[in-house]
Structure 1
Amino acid sequence: MLRGLVIVLSILAVAAAIVAPNALHLANPYRLYNNVVPAQDIAVAAPTVTELPDFAGYQQSADKKQAFFGFLAPLVEAENALIREQRSGLEALYTKWRLKPDSLSQEQLSWLEYLAKRYRVEFSIASEAEAEETFALLMRRVDVVPETLVLVQAANESAWGTSRFATEALNLFGQWCFTEGCGLIPAARGEEATHEVQKFDSINASIRSYLRNLNTHPAYFEMRQLRAEQRERRADIRALDLTPGLLSYSERGEDYVEELNAMIRVNRPIILETMGAEEPVAEPGFTPSSDSAPE
């Protein structure tokens, strides 16, 4: 009964923080590859959430966890769904290009260029070798991150949504920025340091930035490589598969990774119950060989 009430309160908290009724997100609003894959209305209705519920008000740890995961999980799923659609289009265009290299339309090439810019990949298909490398690099970067890992890192970095950076900057993942005024100045920042903790306009933007960071920053190449190897083996991609690639996320290194692993093991049953799934994983799928595309 109590858990049901916690879930209801979390849903109401999300609804209260919505500034637009429903922001309909499409990874590819022009459906530039819909002549390659069956036309589908693959869209995710994601509320734009501009404030956090008061997680500090929960007296019981179990209730706080249930509320935190219940609040955040739908937003994480929406961002992953957007990435999943981008990957679907990328796979379709790669297959089309492999069958006939000059078959891609100008609109499809423009969409690929947009995707490459979004994921910080230099776009070139001037030769077969360059095209293979471009597609392989994109396939390694345009991919989801298991919801369990996202939720646990958010909990770790934001003190379960109660830290100053979470409540004042909507920053759930401790992301930095380096332009004066871009965020909040950490109290313990050294005299020579210039970084700030980035401020976001919404929780959605914080999640989106975090996912892009993991998918593009050189520091997380190993995480992306681990994910690509799982896909090549057609194996499920689980949170514990990827944590070894997050050594650079914290100055604590191995200790940080071990802490994440422990949190994943402890909180996995709550996350599964919250999400109503047997196991939130990134499903296996097609990917070109990544060996020829160093980052």
Structure 2
Amino acid sequence: MRKILALLTVVLIASCSVYYVKQHESDTVEMSVNSGQAVSDAPDFSAISNVTEKKQSFFSYLKPGIELENARIVKERKTLKRIQTHFDQNNVTTKDKQDAKHLASLYKVDMNDNKVTAKWLSVMQRRVDVLPPALVLTQAANESAWGTSRFAVEGNNYFGQWCYSKGCGLVPLARQEGMTHEVAKFRSVQESIHRYFMNVNRNAAYYELRKIRQQLRQQEQDLLSTDTAEALTQGLLKYSERGADYVTDLQTMIRHNETYWQSE
């Protein structure tokens, strides 16, 4: 981890603004559940009293869904690489344009006049990339209280994602007066994982995370490693109103559970 942090040149500025993850009701993203359901019904994590057993069960339960998402992204990056190669050769094909339009829709990156450009490719290369399991699992554990929260149990929501239309999810019991958000309810845990990936990879709030990840890729670091997971937490200042304290908690959790990551 020390090596990766030394390589990073990113300057992070803490924001006093608060950003909450939200589900876009009109989102037409092609979910990973359409190509395979990796995560089945959840165990009753609250019934597991042994801490080590609970952690092992939780991580084992969510890991296949995370692997499915990363596998999808690897395929999308291969498509991008092919488009990039043809663009560099000034030979963008009709197939390239069709695939580019599809990816542009998924990742919310406009294509001016439906043309592949250097700028478009640059943005897409930054957005379409994998996330280390240690990061995803740690956020899931943190946000769902190890799978025992009301939102995880009743709404398949493991990442604290919000939505903003009445009836779209579960109303928080401690919601402040005047607030209208709900905690999104998903059809499956796989959908929750998918929405988390797309949120982190598309939302402007997590540009710093994507920038750090791109630097690590350019430095040929392992993007699926625990060290990368810890480095990427620096780009999650806006995931919670707790800001830097939230990031510190994630880093502590990653280090504390390192034995699980190493055993994978």
TM-score between both structures, scaled by the size of structure 1: 0.74
- Residue number in structure 2 paired with 1:152: 138
Counterpart AA for 1:61: V
Cα separation, 1, equivalents of 2:174 and 2:222 = 40
Counterpart AA for 1:242: L
Pair member with larger Rg:
1
Would the aligned equivalents of 1:182 and 1:196 in 2 still touch at CA under 8 Å? yes
Would the aligned equivalents of 1:125 and 1:134 in 2 still touch at CA under 8 Å? no
Asked if 1:47 is matched to 2:33, the reply is no
Cα separation, 2, equivalents of 1:202 and 1:138 = 27
- Residue number in structure 2 paired with 1:196: 182
Would the aligned equivalents of 2:39 and 2:64 in 1 still touch at CA under 8 Å? no
Per-residue deviation, residues 254-288 of structure 1 (Å, max 9, x unmatched)? 11100000000011211332x3xxxxxxxxxxxxx
- Residue number in structure 2 paired with 1:77: 67
106-115 or 155-164: bigger deviation: 106-115
Select the residue among 75, 97, 106 that pairs with 2:94.
106
Task: Look up the SS of the partner of 1:179 in the other structure.
Answer: coil
Identity fraction in percent: 43
User: Post-superposition shift, 1:241?
Assistant: 1.4
Select the residue among 209, 227, 233 that pairs with 2:195.
209
Task: Look up the SS of the partner of 1:143 in the other structure.
Answer: coil
- Residue number in structure 2 paired with 1:120: 108
- Residue number in structure 2 paired with 1:177: 163
Cα separation, 1, equivalents of 2:37 and 2:92 = 31
Would the aligned equivalents of 1:69 and 1:271 in 2 still touch at CA under 8 Å? no
Please give the root-mean-square deviation of Cα atoms over the aligned residues, in Å.
Answer: 1.6
Equivalent residue pairs, number: 228
The runs of 5 or more residues in structure 1 that have no matched partner are 1-22, 26-44, 276-295
Asked if 1:66 is matched to 2:52, the reply is no
Would the aligned equivalents of 1:223 and 1:246 in 2 still touch at CA under 8 Å? yes
Per-residue deviation, residues 232-260 of structure 1 (Å, max 9, x unmatched)? 22222310110000000111111110000
Counterpart AA for 1:160: W
Asked if 1:96 is matched to 2:82, the reply is no
User: Post-superposition shift, 1:215?
Assistant: 0.5
Would the aligned equivalents of 2:38 and 2:64 in 1 still touch at CA under 8 Å? no
- Residue number in structure 1 paired with 2:19: none
Per-residue deviation, residues 68-112 of structure 1 (Å, max 9, x unmatched)? 001111111111111111011111211121012xx2222321111
Counterpart AA for 1:108: D
Cα separation, 2, equivalents of 1:48 and 1:75 = 5
- Residue number in structure 1 paired with 2:250: 260
Task: Look up the SS of the partner of 1:197 in the other structure.
Answer: strand
Task: Look up the SS of the partner of 2:220 in the other structure.
Answer: coil
Cα separation, 2, equivalents of 1:222 and 1:207 = 21
